[in-house]
Amino acid sequence: MKARWDIFCSVVDNYGDIGVTWRLARQLVVEHGCEVRLWVDDLRAFERMCPDIDVQVSQQWQEGVEVRHWPTEWPGAHSADVVIAAFACQLPLAYMDSMAECDRPPLWMNLDYLSAEDWVVGCHCLPSVKFKGVQKYFFFPGFRPGTGGLLREAGLLERRQAFQQDDAAQQQFLQTLGVFPAAGARLMSLFAYENPGLAGWLDVLAADRHETHLLVPEGRILGDMQRWLGVGSLAAGDIQMRGALTVQVIAFVRQEQYDQLLWCCAFNAVRGEDSFVRAQWAGRPLLWHIYRQDEDIHLDKLDAFLALYTAALSPSAKAAVVALWQAWNTQGDMAQSWKMLLEHWPEVSGHAENWCLEQGLQADLATALVQFYESWI
């Protein structure tokens, strides 16, 4: 019999919560034959990356996943065999009661935030709290052996490599977005939170000898972009040119298309958690705008990832990557650090592919979850 999984997603803000759980839910269905219900409290955030979502209905099927609206007033449902609370969201009390009433209580896990910090390995799969005898476990994604790994669909890297070797497919895809980069222009994408460091970076891109075509999906960075461009508003379809820099605002695309967008670009600025991972699977140099946390604890996470990511780089290339990422996240000098990065472009590009392939050797997160369940029953 197919194992039944319930995944609970409370959208705190932005798109990472739903981005991760939607990706996981699909993969469990398609690759592991699981029966998955995805409970989401905010279908509008979901609709942005999956426009097929009907925000008016409480139950619908999307790509084999049963999508259930999770309203404030719990509609009632029996416990599944595996229950995932994403990012420490609080399950409805009545649902937890139904977990405890099962003859065979479910495997209950908290799917945690992604971090490269050392302590993650020691905490992965440890028991957490109990509710009426039902044990909850921590499940940590991560970059090192001994963690839950990263979400990666089967064949993803092969599909990505084939696409990157197929110029016509890339051009065709870009055309569907209304993107026609000039021959030889460096295509880049920008997905970030508000960031005062943007102006310094754009200054240096505009003054560069080399042309850059910067694709900006609609979102939180547009205010800073408007200020730098000196325009009153920006919307999908707008194109602005300043020196060697072309800025093009594009609509927020479907989640699958966002992958293709990253694959087309020579450099991707990403943020949060899911786009950060997808940019790594793109095998291209990237810049991470980390999600800000109280007391700057996000900076420890940034350092931990940088230490791991840059370990195989030469000291000067490492310094360039670290300087750029630190500048982007702590309002440092983007112009200077971008120039440093350009000086190490071939090494940093080669490294992005190597890092991706190396990470691709680990079991992916969905498989790791299924294996954990199978060893638990």
User: Contact with ligand TRH (CB under 6 A): which of 5, 8, 15, 95?
Assistant: 15
Measured distance CA(276)–CA(206) in Å, rounded: 25
Among this protein's residues, is 166 annotated catalytic?
Answer: no
Least Å from the CB of residue 248 to ligand TRH: 13
H helix or E strand, kind and range, residue 214: strand 212-217
Residue with tokens 């699958």: 256
**For the packed helices 198-207 and 222-229, what is the interaxial angle rounded to 10 degrees?**
50
Q: Are strands 4-9 and 35-40 parallel, antiparallel or unpaired?
A: parallel
Number of chain residues interacting with ligand TRH (CB under 6 A): 21
The active-site residue out of 6, 17, 117, 259 is: 17
Number of H helices, E strands in the chain: 15, 14
Least Å from the CB of residue 104 to ligand TRH: 32
H helix or E strand, kind and range, residue 209: none
Among this protein's residues, is 66 annotated catalytic?
Answer: no
Least Å from the CB of residue 270 to ligand TRH: 6
E strands, 87-166, are: 107-111, 127-131, 134-139
Q: Are strands 134-139 and 127-131 parallel, antiparallel or unpaired?
A: antiparallel
Least Å from the CB of residue 18 to ligand TRH: 7
Does position 272 interact with ligand TRH (CB under 6 A)? The reply is yes
User: Contact with ligand TRH (CB under 6 A): which of 21, 147, 268, 275?
Assistant: 275
Backbone phi, then psi, for 58, in 5-degree steps? -90, -15
Residue with tokens 């696409």: 163
Nearer to ligand TRH, 16 or 149 (CB): 16
Which residues, 6+ apart, have CB-to-CB distance to 295 below 8 Å? none
Instruction: Compose the 36-75 pattern: x for residues touching ligand TRH by CB under 6 A, - for all others.
Output: -------------x--------------------------
By CB under 6 A, the residues from 237 to 256 that bind ligand TRH are 252-253, 255
By CB under 6 A, the residues from 289 to 318 that bind ligand TRH are 291
By CB under 6 A, the residues from 184 to 223 that bind ligand TRH are 191, 217
Least Å from the CB of residue 254 to ligand TRH: 6
133: left (phi over 0), alpha (psi -120 to 50) or beta: left
Catalytic residues: 17, 273
Note the residues at the interface with ligand TRH (CB under 6 A). 12-17, 19, 49, 191, 217, 252-253, 255, 258, 271-276, 291
